[in-house]
Amino acid sequence: MWIAFTNTEYLQYLAGRNGDNKKPMKPKKVLIIIGHPMRNSFCGALAEAYIEGAKAAGADIKQLYLGELKFDPILWHGYKEIQELEEDLKMAQEFILWAEHLVFVYPTWWGTIPAQLKGFIDRTFLPGFAFKYRKDSLFWDRLLTNRSARLLVTMDAPHWYYKWAYKQPGHNMMKKTILWFCGIKPVKISEFGPIKISTETQRHKWLLKARKLGEKIE
């Protein structure tokens, strides 16, 4: 059966097929969390490359350089007593609630994330903020849903060795036991390494890769 189109209807049909009638998407809110204590590091360069790409794509960007925040990374009483948040951590929580996409940039030290990043998560991703246990139950509610994340991770170990010999402890911690636990998904991971023996040409390619990820905001 043939369907007759007027010229105007046909143009509208073609526009629909090509996606021309889609509503423009709002700029995505992206929070960059740099977990290397030194801004002048390759992690810092990866973060800047990602930010350049994301800005080119029209994203709204906020940044947290953990090495420049003032906070105690230690939970001195565990979760049994409330430890007052420093102003920088209050700001960090506001940024996390604001964000739609979180990008963590950090090195792999001793097979996992740096202590400062772990301390930041301990102090910031608190019960009542990131998750909430149900009364008299082992189950919990995820409070940071409707957010995605990207991990930009540097390391000196070859990818295959980190995956098969070490079983990726840092990736599993961040993706499964922290971000998924709080409702943040999908979580995608990009590795950059081995850094120790990398050439300038290779590092340049990695920076271009980070920029392209920023352009896609993923």
Whether residue 65 lies inside any domain: the answer is: yes
More confident residue, 59 or 19: 59
Distance (Å, rounded) from C-alpha 21 to C-alpha 4? 21
Residue 16 covered by a domain = no
Within a domain: residue 7? no
> What pLDDT digit, counting tens, does each position of 64-108 carry?
999 999 999 999 999 888 899 999 999 999 999 999 999 999 999
Owning domain of residue 148: 27-216
DSSP 209: H
Number of structural domains (the chain) is: 1
Q: Is residue 104 part of a domain?
A: yes
**21: in domain:** no
Residue where the block lists tokens 């700029």: 27
CATH number of the domain to which 75 belongs: 3.40.50.360
Whether 9 is covered by a domain: the verdict is no
Report the 10 Å Cβ neighbour count for 51.
20
pTM, two decimals, is: 0.87
40 domain residue, yes or no: yes
Task: Tell me, yes or no, whether 13 lies in a domain.
Answer: no
